Each structure stands twice: as structure tokens, then as C-alpha cells.
């Protein structure tokens, strides 16, 4: 039986190490944001396979975060600037579209479960009610 070339074993080891480092990097970039109301898109949906987008809802703002290989894209809208919320429930996953005051392009969050999409809408509406009740406007 022929012996395996040591250079081939060395190259396979380096390749496995690089694959492990890439996997760890992807998992780290896709980790859940801190907070009580964070909704993460499914990796099974288009645009979320490697780095799933996340939506964080707080009493002050709705923030979406989309990680990239280098850096991230983050967009935030104050709770008072949300004009309407539309939930499009499909067979498995749902899309949430948030229109804002001031004519800005709507925020579209895709790939969330039906339950998450409905909870997201309810949480935003609750925070809006609290905001307007507190500020009296």
C-alpha cells in the first residue's frame, strides 16, 4: 500500500482549519442581538442564508441590522415616525413592511415566522401607544 503524501495531509489540515475559522466567523456575525424584543429572520429564506437580518424593537426605535462579510448595514426609525405596519403572511414565512412619516422608503423585513411578524407588529403598536400616551400628542 502506498503511503499518503505528508504534504497532502498538511494541505487538508490547513483547509479544514480555514473552513472552521470561516464557520466561526459566520456564527459570530449572526449571533442574536441583546434585548427583549429581537426578531431574527430564518436562514432558510432568500437574503438571510449566511447572515440573517435582525429587527430590534425598543420603546424608542425600531432598528434593523443586516450583517455583511465586512461590517453591517443598520437602519433605525424612531417609534413616533412609524406611520403604518403591514404584515404579509405567506405559507411559512412572513414579510413586515413599515412605512414612515416624511416620505422615506419603507423598511421591509423578510423571512420572519408568522408568529414573530405578528408579535413584532403588536410590540411596535404597544410602544407607540405608550409613547403618545406619555407625551400627550
Delimit the domains of the chain by residue range. Answer: 32-135
What burial class does residue 3 get, using C-beta atoms within 10 Å of its C-beta: 0-12 exposed, 13-18 middle, 19+ buried?
Answer: exposed
- pLDDT classification of 137: cutoffs 50, 70, 90: low
pLDDT-based confidence at 1, cuts 50/70/90?
low
pLDDT for 38 equals 94
pLDDT of residue 30: 82
Residues in the chain: 137
pLDDT at 29: 84
32-135 CATH fold: PH-domain like (2.30.29)
What does the angle CA 15 – CA 18 – CA 24 come to, to the nearest 5 degrees? Answer: 140
Q: Which residue has the cell 435582525?
A: 54
H or E element in which residue 16 lies: helix 6-29
Strand ordering across the sheet containing 72-78: 38-40, 54-57, 61-67, 72-78
What is the pTM (predicted TM-score) of this model? 0.80
Amino acid at each position: 500500500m502506498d503511503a499518503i503524501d505528508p504534504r497532502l495531509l498538511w494541505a487538508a489540515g490547513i483547509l479544514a482549519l480555514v473552513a472552521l475559522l470561516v464557520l466561526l466567523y459566520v456564527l459570530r456575525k449572526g449571533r442574536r442581538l441583546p434585548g427583549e424584543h429581537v426578531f431574527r429572520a430564518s436562514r432558510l429564506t432568500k437574503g438571510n442564508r449566511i447572515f440573517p437580518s435582525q429587527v430590534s424593537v425598543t420603546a424608542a426605535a425600531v432598528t434593523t441590522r443586516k450583517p455583511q462579510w465586512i461590517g453591517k448595514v443598520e437602519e433605525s426609525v424612531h417609534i413616533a415616525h412609524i406611520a403604518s405596519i403591514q404584515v404579509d403572511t405567506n405559507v411559512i414565512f412572513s414579510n413586515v413592511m413599515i412605512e414612515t412619516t416624511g416620505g422615506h422608503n419603507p423598511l421591509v423585513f423578510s423571512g420572519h415566522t408568522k408568529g414573530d411578524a405578528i408579535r413584532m407588529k403588536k410590540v411596535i403598536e404597544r410602544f407607540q401607544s405608550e409613547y403618545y400616551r406619555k407625551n400627550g400628542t
